[in-house]
Amino acid sequence: MPTGVAPTDVAPSGAAPDLGVRLRARRRELQLTLQTVADRAGLSVGFISQIERGITQPSLASLASVAQVLDVPMAHFLSQPGGEQRFTVAGERPVYRISEGASQFERLSSEFAGNTLHSLVIHEPPGHRIAPIRHAGEEMVFVLDGEITVEVEGEQRVLRRGDSVHHPSDQVHSSWNHTDTEATLLWVGTFDVFGGPSETDLSDGVPTDTRRDT
């Protein structure tokens, strides 16, 4: 089996710059030959080779076949990690607040090309209430301290310290702090809340409380 890759073999493609590189990397992780992947995916060996070297791009159907053979979601080939500001320290993260009396946020997640996870520590003031919202993506909330009430698709629950909720964000969801003390939450989602590529993100992908404040 040949080892080593000639990086210059890989031509960049605008749609998924790293598709070929990632495909080859994953294939090699699994120690599969081009022929094996091709056979299992129902494609030709030459085609897989050309995809890996960036010479051609697969159709969505072909990409789905290959992804299944390599046991990863298609998105695996469509993102590109980098590396940036990976560690945060409690008490040293900047705290953001949109308006007086609103929730405060500390950002945990770092930004690298193609990153999917976005995370915040949210300080939710007493009585703060968020109107129902739904949007693309997926999110979870873990209660670090205090209590809140969460409602997802009509299902209402009180969450206490250590409790959590995880749901696709296109289910109608809302939340509020029903107590008279601040609640502290860890929010993790698959959409960016701040500093997205455009302002459109802000109006569409914000957590419920931020939406309320705008």
Partner DNA sequence: CAAGATTTTTTAGCCAAACTAAAATTATTC
Partner DNA sequence: GAATAATTTTAGTTTGGCTAAAAAATCTTG
Which residues form the interface with DNA (CB under 7 A)? 1-5, 9, 33-35, 38, 42-47, 49-50, 52-53, 55-59, 61-62
**Binding letters toward a second copy, positions 65-104, x by CB under 8 A:** ------xxxxxx-xx-xxx--xxxxxx-------------
Q: Is 159 in the site for a second copy (CB under 8 A)?
A: yes
Whether 95 contacts 107, CB under 8 Å: no
To the nearest whole angstrom, how small is the minimum distance from the Cβ of residue 150 to a second copy? 8
165-170, long-range: CB within 8 Å, 24+ apart, which pairs? 165/140, 165/141, 166/138, 166/139, 166/140, 166/141, 167/138, 167/139, 167/140, 168/137, 168/138, 169/134, 169/135, 169/136, 169/137, 169/138, 169/139, 170/134, 170/135, 170/136, 170/137
To the nearest whole angstrom, how small is the minimum distance from the Cβ of residue 175 to a second copy? 12
- Select the residue interacting with a second copy from 36, 116, 149, 179 (CB under 8 A): 116
Q: Which does 147 bind (CB under 5 to 8 A by kind): DNA, a second copy, none?
A: none
Under rule CB under 8 A, which residues in 166-195 are in contact with a second copy?
A: 166-171, 186, 188-190
- Cβ proximity to a second copy: between 99 and 196 the closer is 196
Beta-carbon contacts of 47 under 8 Å, excluding residues fewer than 6 positions away, are 38, 56, 58, 62
